[in-house]
Amino acid sequence: MQVAVSNQVVTMSSREIADLVGSRHDDVKRSIERLATDKTSADGTQVPAVIQLPPLAEVKNHLGQTVKEYLVGKRDSYVIVAQLSPAFTARLVDRWQELEAQVAAPSLPTLSRMDILKLAIDSEERALAAEAKLIEQAPKADFYDKYTKATGNKGIREVAKLLHANEREFTAFLVAQNYMYRLGGRLTPFAYHHHAGRFEVKVGVSNNDHAFNQAVFTTKGISWIAAEWAKYQLIEV
């Protein structure tokens, strides 16, 4: 829900009005435009618009797409709701009281799921950078293992844990979105994502002389998949 405050003048977005009355947002926008248009009566008399056409604002929806919403003042919002669904007037009154109370005593901003994920990733990257600096002075014998950890490369299980995701659900997501596919029982990244630097594939030989490969996310890949996972979660909700 979008709420705008300019010089302590509170407005309510057309999308919030749509949510309050249970209507489609595009239907509400058309109603606003109709009410803001001068009309001519049957006898030729000019009938002035009931409301003024409110300003438009561009905002991002839950899919990250840019959409346009009207920012409606208090008086005109009552006219619009009266036209759309008078039964919801009481709900509109309650919402305006909440908005005006927020202006009188602003609350702390609420972090979105994407904000929380970004903070977690930034914190992880800072910790990895500090660890990498220490490893520069480590003995050569165990340098490779420590370097792999310090560069931020993580397997699917570790990334799922970082994102607080169910590992099975996260794995199914990687396959369904065509980020990875199963090859010989192991998840392998598609070439495009591998070449984009989002994955590294470790190749080696096990203790029983069987060749193996294991795909891990790079630091770049972790940041990328965190954003994709967050968008997926928002769509699912």
**Alpha-carbon span 181 to 188, nearest angstrom:** 5
Pairing relationship of beta strands 46-47 and 3-6 according to DSSP bridges: unpaired
Tens digits of residue pLDDT in 168-200: 999 999 999 999 998 877 889 998 888 888 999
Q: Which of 28-42, 82-96, 182-196, 217-231 has the lowest mean pLDDT?
A: 82-96
Residue 62 has pLDDT above 70, yes or no: yes
Helix orientation angle between 14-21 and 25-35, rounded to the nearest 10 degrees: 110
Looking at residue 5, its pLDDT comes to: 46
Residue 8 has pLDDT above 60, yes or no: no
Confidence class of residue 28 from pLDDT cuts 50, 70 and 90?
very high
Confidence class of residue 15 from pLDDT cuts 50, 70 and 90?
very high
Helix orientation angle between 74-84 and 25-35, rounded to the nearest 10 degrees: 110
**Alpha-carbon span 81 to 41, nearest angstrom:** 23
DSSP string for residues in 17-73? HHHHHT--HHHHHHHHHHHTS-EE-TTS-EE--SSPPPPEEEEE-TTS-EEEEEEE-
Tens digits of residue pLDDT in 88-140: 777 888 888 888 777 765 555 565 666 666 666 666 566 666 555 555 544 43
Query: In sequence order, what are the beta bridge partners of 12?
Result: 3, 72
| Two tokens, residue 104 | 């009188």
Q: What is the CA radius of gyration of the chain?
A: 27
User: Distances from the Cα of 86 to the Cαs of 21, 22, 83, 92, 197, in angstroms?
Assistant: 9, 12, 7, 10, 56
Confidence class of residue 20 from pLDDT cuts 50, 70 and 90?
confident
